[in-house]
Structure formats: structure tokens, C-alpha cells
Structure 1
């Protein structure tokens, strides 16, 4: 049986975070071309970048809902949905049978963490050659009213639910950096000693530290993950070296 690959595109890779919903269509079409050539059984997840983070901050979504910021649920979801439509459009232009899936419609959080997340239909889609495209999103939260669930949190949940052993995160840096150099492998003991540098972009989902926290949890469940520069996405999909970071539960050999 063909293995399901989970690929996450960082929001800063496909948008310009200095603008508001400034989508990099050229980058999207380049990535779609790599995916079409590799033709993996794939689930794609993308971050929000400048299509959602500005709205989430403006409406203080992660502080929880009150009488003043309820409209932020709509505006945040609408912004990231525009980006999702652009990602799906680029994939379909490349001949990939992609369809957008919105976490707001099928997830429930509790205290900022996913409490329930329906994935059975996602497995059915991949079995029929459909590429589901999910994204970081605002979701309803039993304790806070609403919260932001990052694409990285979705990646961890999807990998476990779908039994995926190939997980890749394409970013705007070469991997996890310490003093400007790529850290080739990270486990929990190494993570405790790291002073992480990386993209200058910050967001409401925790940046690189948040990413590593999610991926270490995935490693604990038995699945390694790969962090690499987006220019290496084709090499990751082909199974060749990407020169980035592997997050694992094992120490450096």
C-alpha cells in the first residue's frame, strides 16, 4: 500500500508576512509543479502567513471570545480560506486533484489544543487519489470560545491518525538553525540545549519553537519529521537529501 506523505507549507513560504494576505502565486505554482512530478499519496497542510495572522492578532482570538471580538472568527477564517483557495487552485492548475478542507468545520479544541478532529474522510480522499489541503485555522474551543489551531498541530494529529511515516515541513530557512548553522537532528535532550534562530517572521502560533514542540510529540509517537527550505521540497518528496533538520526521538547516531 502506498504510504501517505504529509507536507506542511509554512505561511511565510507562500505569503509575504509584511503585507496583508499577500499571496506568492509564483511560489505556489512552483511547489505544485514539484508535487505533480513526484505524484505522492499526499495530504497538504499550509500555514496562514499574512492571510489570517493579522486578523487573529487584531481580534485577539487566542485570548478567547468576548462580546467584542466574536466577528474575528469570521474574518480570520475568511482570510485563511482565501489562501487555501489559492493553494488548491495552484495544485489543480498542475493537474492535481486537490480540494480544500477547513478545520473550523471539523475540529473542536479545548484550551487551545485539539480535543476532536475528524480524519476518516481525509483517509478516504487519499485512497481515491484526492489531495486534501488543510490549513491553520480558527476553531471553536470548549474553554475559550475560540482559538487558533496551527498547521503544525494539525500535522501531528494527521500523521498519527493516518499512520504516516513521511512528514515534511517546508520553511523559509534551511532547517532549525543555531548560530546560523543547521542542526541536523533534534531529539528532546538536544532541544533543551538549543537557542533557536531562524525566520524573522513571528506569528500567533509560536514560530519555530512551537513547530519543534509539536514535532517532538510526533517523534514520541514514533514518526520522525523533516524541516527544510522550500527550495528542497522536490528532494523531500523524492526521498533524497534535503540538508535540513530531522526531528526524532532517537539521539544523534
Structure 2
């Protein structure tokens, strides 16, 4: 693409009560929407995690173990949970004057053995060219080997960053960056990651938590695209291309 796209992910833990049962943080969404609205010239694609709107449902139906006749109901239940959160994100953006539209991976993505193998990205390109912000999310998608599975927002970030040739990739989280024994790790590469002690979320997360995130971002770094992990309060700094005090994952 000619346009320089910024790919930004809101972690599920910052827009929902991840330890709860689907409570959306509307105040946080409004604040983030306001930050984006103040930067109307950005070519932005948003992705958000599921938080407590999807992870508990996916775990209840054991979707990560595969889907068949016994648990197929979990596809609809889980998708509706994450789609509801997506509507809340889009609504917040539109209320602040950002022309945004929700895109559901269930309809446009496929996986094989829990790995994202395709994502229809050309409509996303066209939306961005029109000045519209596409908003995708972690979702249940059809899986060639398992029937269906959960695809994380991090997997979508990795796929789209390459497909769209993203200029910058950022992940807003509830921590100031990747932490190793309580301290922010400024840079992570494949050479250094093995020396780190990276924990996982204590909440229900069927997509691997921080370790899953780093796995995806290191694979993205292999493609020559670096990514930034920072506290949600530093979102404006990232959007403006300024220092965010978080972690950069690079080749």
C-alpha cells in the first residue's frame, strides 16, 4: 500500500474486566476513542482482544481442543460475546467522530491446527483508503484440522502487519511493557528472549497470554516488522511516534 498504516491493538484486559464476566470498561473506551479522534489524519487499523467477553465462553466449551457436534454451540456463544465487545468499541469511536466499522474474523479468516492461515485483507485496504477505521477482534474461526478454534488478536496483528505493510505496530496493555522480574525489558529479540522470565495472565486466557503475544511478535520481527508493547496510558505517545517507555520486539 502507498499509505502508511498504523496497526494498533487494545488488549482485552484494558477494555474489559478480564477477571469478571463480560463487563466492558466504557470509560476507558471513551478515553481511547478521544485520543484517536484527535488524530484524524492517521491511517489506522484497530484490533482488540476479547478479555472477559469471549475467553470464559471459549474455555467453557473447550474450543481450543477442537469443535464437533458435542460443543458446536460454543461457536455461536463465543462469537456473540466478542462481537458484542466489538460493537462497544465501534460505538465509542463513532460517538467521538471516528468513522469506524467492525469486521468479524469468523467471516473472513481461516485457521489450521490453531494457526491463522488466511485473512481477507483487501476490504480492509479499501476501507482505510476511504478514511474508515476497520476494527477487528480475537474470534472463533473455522479450522481445517479442528473444526474451529480461537484466533487471538495477536495472531491477527501479525498477519495483517505483513499483508498491509504496516509502518508501525503497537499493542496497548495493562502493564508498562514486557516485564522480567518486575522490570520493563526495553528490547526483545530471538537472541535475548530465552533469558527472560515472562509470566502469563492469571485470568482465563485461551490464547496464551504474554508468552503467546511474544511468540507472534517475534515471528513478525522475522518478517522485518518491529512492534511496540506499552501501557495503555502511553497510547497517544505511540500514535505520535514518541517514546512510550515500553518494550520493542525487533529482529
TM over 0.5: yes
- Higher mean Cα deviation, 46-55 or 13-22? 13-22
2:142 and 2:3 map into 1 onto residues whose CA distance is 34
Corresponding position: 1:117 with 2:114: no
- Which residue does the alignment assign to 1:12? 13
**2:29 matched to which residue of 1?**
28
1:104-143 to 2 correspondences below 5 Å: 104-143=106-145
Q: How does 1:186-197 map to 2 (within 5 A)?
A: 186-197=188-199
Contact 1:165–1:224 under 8 Å retained in 2: no
Detail structure 1 runs of 4+ shifted over 6 Å in the superposition: none
Structure 2 gap ranges (5+) = none
Give 1:67 shift. 2.0
Q: Pick which of 224-233 and 1-10 moved more.
A: 1-10
SS in 1 for 2:92: helix
Aligned pair 1:61/2:69, yes or no?
A: no
Q: Does the Cα contact within 8 Å between 1:15 and 1:21 map onto a contact in 2?
A: yes
> Any idea what SS the aligned residue of 1:192 has?
helix
In the alignment, structure 1 segments of 5+ residues that lack a partner are none
Deviation at 1:116, TM superposition (A): 1.7
CA contact (8 A) 2:24 2:85 kept: yes
Structure 2 counterpart of 1:222:
224
Deviation of 1:199 after TM superposition, in Å, equals: 5.0
Query: How does 1:80-95 map onto structure 2 within 5 Å?
Result: 80-95=82-97
Assess if the C-alpha contact under 8 Å between 2:5 and 2:164 holds in 1.
yes
Cα distance in structure 2, aligned partners of 1:18 and 1:209? 19
- Encode CA deviations 1:163-209: one digit per residue, 9 max, x unaligned: 00200000000000011100000000111111014754351000000
RMSD of the TM alignment (CA)? Answer: 1.0
Q: SS where residue 140 of structure 2 aligns?
A: strand
TM-score using structure 1 length: 0.96
Give the C-alpha shift of residue 20 in structure 1.
1.2
2:171 is paired with a residue whose SS is strand
Contact 1:63 1:144 in 2 (8 A): yes
Q: How many aligned positions are there?
A: 249
Whole-Å separation in 1 of the counterparts to 2:245 and 2:191: 21
Checking the alignment, whether the CA contact within 8 Å between 1:177 and 1:198 is kept in structure 2 is no
Matched residue of 2:205: which SS?
Answer: coil
Q: Secondary structure of the residue that 1:19 maps to in structure 2?
A: coil
